[in-house]
Amino acid sequence: MTGTSFIFWIVALLTVGSAAGVVFSKNLIYSAIALLFSLLGVAGLYVFLWADFIAVTQILIYVGGILVLIIFGIMLTHRITNVQLSHSSIQRGVGGVIVLVIFAGLSAMILNAPWHRSPAIEPLETVREIGRMLMINYLLPFEVASILLLAALMGAALLSRKTD
C-alpha cells in the first residue's frame, strides 16, 4: 500500500466515522464538532479527486460559514446554562431498517452498473477552467444563483426579526 492510498483511507475513515458521530452522538455540540471533521474529510476527498478549487470552497463555505451558522443556531435555541444539550432520537429501529435497505440498494447498483470510465488527464489549472465555464457555459445559472443568495439573505433576515 503506497503512502498516498494510506492517507486516502485515513481521510475516508475520518469522513465516514465523523458522519456516524453526527447522527449517533447524544450531545448536540458533539454532533456539530463531528460534522466539522466530516466536512473537512470531504474536502480531503476532493483533493484526492484533483478538485482543489472545490476543496477550498468546501472549507470556506461549509466549515467557515454553514457550521458556524449551525452552532449559532444551537446556541440561540437552547439555554446556555443547560450544559448537556442532549438530543434524543425517535424510531431508531424503523429508520435503521429503511436506511439499511436504501444503502443495500445503492451499493448493489454501484457495484453492478457498467460506469463509463476513461483514463482521465490531470487538469493543469482547475480554477481557470471553472471560471471560464461559469462565465461562458453557465452564465445564466450563475446569475440566478446570485439572485437566489440575495433572496435567501433577505428572507432569513426578515424571518428572524422580531415582528413587534
Partner 1 sequence: MVDLNTYLIIGAILFSLGMFGVITRRNGVAVLMGVELILNAANVNFVAFARFGGMDLTGHVFSLFVIILAAAEAAVALAIILNIFNNLGTVNIDEANQLKQ
Q: Tell me how far, at minimum, the Cβ of 24 lies from partner 1, in Å.
A: 9
Euclidean distance between CA atoms 131 and 138, whole angstroms:
10
Residue 23 within binding range of partner 1, rule CB under 8 A: yes
What's the min distance (Å) between Cβ of 163 and partner 1?
Answer: 9
When binding is defined by CB under 8 A, the residue of 83, 84, 139, 141 that contacts partner 1 is: 141
33 touching partner 1, by CB under 8 A? no
Contact between 139 and partner 1 per CB under 8 A? no
Q: How far is the CB of 36 from partner 1 (least distance, A)?
A: 11
Region 54-113 residues binding partner 1, contact defined as CB under 8 A: 54, 57-58, 61-62, 65-66, 69-70, 72-74, 76-78, 87-92, 94-96, 98-100, 102-103, 106-107, 110-111
Cβ-in-10-Å burial (0-12, 13-18, 19+) of 70 comes to middle
Which contiguous run of DSSP H or E holds residue 37? helix 28-48
- Contact yes or no for 43/59 (Cβ under 8 A): yes
Burial 13-36 (b: 16+ CB within 10 A, else e): ebbeebbebbeebeebbebbbbbb
Please state, in angstroms and rounded to a whole number, the distance separating the CA atoms of residues 58 and 146.
18
Residue 153 as a binder of partner 1 (CB under 8 A): the answer is: yes
- Which residue in the set 10, 20, 83, 139 belongs to the binding site for partner 1 (CB under 8 A)? 20
